[in-house]
Amino acid sequence: MLDVIEWLKEHGDLKVIDTPLDVELEIPHLAYIEVKKADSRPLLFTHPVNRAKGIEYDMPVLMNIFANRAVTQKLFGRHPDEIAEGIDGLLKLKPPKGWRAKLAMLPKLIALKNVFPKRLKFKGECQEVIIPKEEVDLDKLPILKTWSEDGGPFITMGQVYTQSLDGTMQNLGMYRLQQYDKNRLGMHWQIHKDASHFFDQYQKAGKKMPVSVAIGGDPLYIWCGQAPMPYGMFEMLLYGFVRNKNAELVKSITNDIYIPRDVDVVIEGFVDPELAEIEGPFGDHTGYYTLREPFPVMEVETITMRKKPVFQATVVGKPPLEDKYMGWATERIFLPMLKPMAPDLIDYNMPENGVFHNLILAKMKVLYKGHAQQFMHAFWGVGQMSFVKHAIFVGEDAPELEEFDALTEHILNRLEKRRILITQGIVDHLDHASPEQFVGGKLGIDATGKEVEVGLESPTGDAELLKKMQAIDTHILELKQYFTQTKTPLCVVTVDKTKPVLSDIEKMKELKEHIKVLIIVDKANNDIDNPYMLLWRVVNNIDAQRDILLDPFIVIDATAKSELDGYDREWPGDTLCDEAVLKGLQEKGLIEIDEAFIKKFGLLNF
């Protein structure tokens, strides 16, 4: 079993913070700042408190476990690409012919026995302390409130273990859990997730659903919980494959669900399928709040824990965050599983400022006309890839997918409207831009093949072009052009929006010789000189069917939508830090940030 604290001290440059800090805003704000630094480190808060409730916790809080790429690789024990090679080898296994081939395959088959979890017949370390139902008090756990507008405190690194009604399938998911009071949690399992499918079974049968939520233990448990495993496959199989040893599970005290023996805390309970309660708001990994919505409620039966537990938590919001490194490992390891449905796929990358499901870059071997479009439809039709909103495909002659500047230049030299596919499909539960929840526009760009023949007809400087645009629309405030050396430069403008921004596009027709791609964002909280956060804003805020026009040139409306645009959903706000909390942390000498850092990562309104 892994002693996570000692391991991180030795291998992860663990930073220990002994200053008493509040679980409401202070601890998560500090972790949020730390993980955005180039040299970010895991953090252990030894004296968490809750000043509003007058609580001093005896349980430390561990955050930013996946603090950087180096520590993430060490946690896996090898580079994720090596793990992917092992998966690729398994997928290509064929029945051996002859005794020599059988002998050669024997080591692989023997290793596979370590994949399957072991169910132990005794109690685990996670059950050294058992709190009965009448003594359950979730306030004794240092559950964090990250953002000022959050609906309450949330467990953010909970391993949620569920099973099907007939007990034949078990699932591990990573879902946020809102604390309502001393013994109830909101279960934010989204409609497309396995736990939600199991819940449907219990609901139809009119039976309460057992749930066990584990916190802590080997960090790979929580990574497995967010991994895009096929439906019906227990995520702990993946743990066994990565670690090359069986996960050891023990039975929960009040239900039949098995959980890892060495986690720190287990919250057991039942979900009544007839009950729901408003959950949220919650500042989510999109960098926006997800809004109030009814979700099932878990009533806690018991809490078990180690004698000296550690409470693991993560913070989500605007990128870059810890999920950048968790996502990197997922991306590398699951590449072989994508190749059976897209065999000519070479590589893919999901940039963290595209918040993963909002943007995917893929490199492929092009064999025939329309091949890239075929890949787009394949991606949008399989598993969690079906949530991807924007997919850009390049050929094998393109730069490496993480060489973002060179890759962008390569794409823009091949971008034209006939290579753009706009369609419709399912979108993530958290997507706020689509006109209706769960269904929205999809954008595919085929940037394979040769460069476009004609570049910009009449390149114009920023100041002159801004003057021309303001003569047409006085609401345009700023303008900056990017990648002017390419055949298809990007022209970004900010606006003070008082009407639908696409309503005046026809008037812009006279500027066609000066513009090939026009991107429009709100002036508020957007820095026109910060392309990293501009990309984040654009891919979050657009629905391809509504917000992209292909004439008179390519136009992308990435402004916030409202009734002005015929948008009748509630548009959420950004996740923003509390200015007083940041000031307090600076005064205590715990963070060191300046105005440039604040603006770079959109920490406050500006």
Which strand (E) or helix (H) includes residue 309?
A: none
Judge whether 459 and 501 are in contact, CB under 8 Å.
Answer: no
Cα–Cα distance, 445 to 454 (Å, whole number): 18
Tokens, residue 115: 């994949």
DSSP 342-375: STTEEEEE--GGGTTTT-EEEEE---STTHHHHH
Which CA distances in Å does 352 have to 2, 393, 422?
A: 29, 18, 23
Tokens, residue 208: 């309460």
Q: 295 CB contacts (<8 Å, ≥6 apart)?
A: 186, 187, 188, 189, 276, 277, 279
The residue from 150, 264, 284, 574 that is catalytic is 284
Amino acid found at 584: G
482: β partners: 490
Q: Is 483 exposed, middle or buried (0-12, 13-18, 19+ CB in 10 A)?
A: middle
Q: Give CA 23 to chain center in angstroms.
A: 23
Q: Is 453 exposed, middle or buried (0-12, 13-18, 19+ CB in 10 A)?
A: exposed
Which three-class secondary structure string do you get for 19-78? CCEECECHHHHHHHHHCCCCCCCCEEECCEEECCCCEECCCCEEECCCCCHHHHHHHHCC
Cα–Cα distance, 517 to 193 (Å, whole number): 37
Tokens, residue 432: 């706020």
Judge whether 85 and 333 are in contact, CB under 8 Å.
Answer: no
Which CA distances in Å does 198 have to 162, 191, 211, 600?
A: 8, 11, 11, 42
Q: What is the DSSP letter of 445?
A: E
Q: What is the DSSP letter of 327?
A: H
Active site (annotated) includes residue 504? no
Judge whether 117 and 237 are in contact, CB under 8 Å.
Answer: yes
Cα–Cα distance, 215 to 219 (Å, whole number): 10
- List active site positions: 284
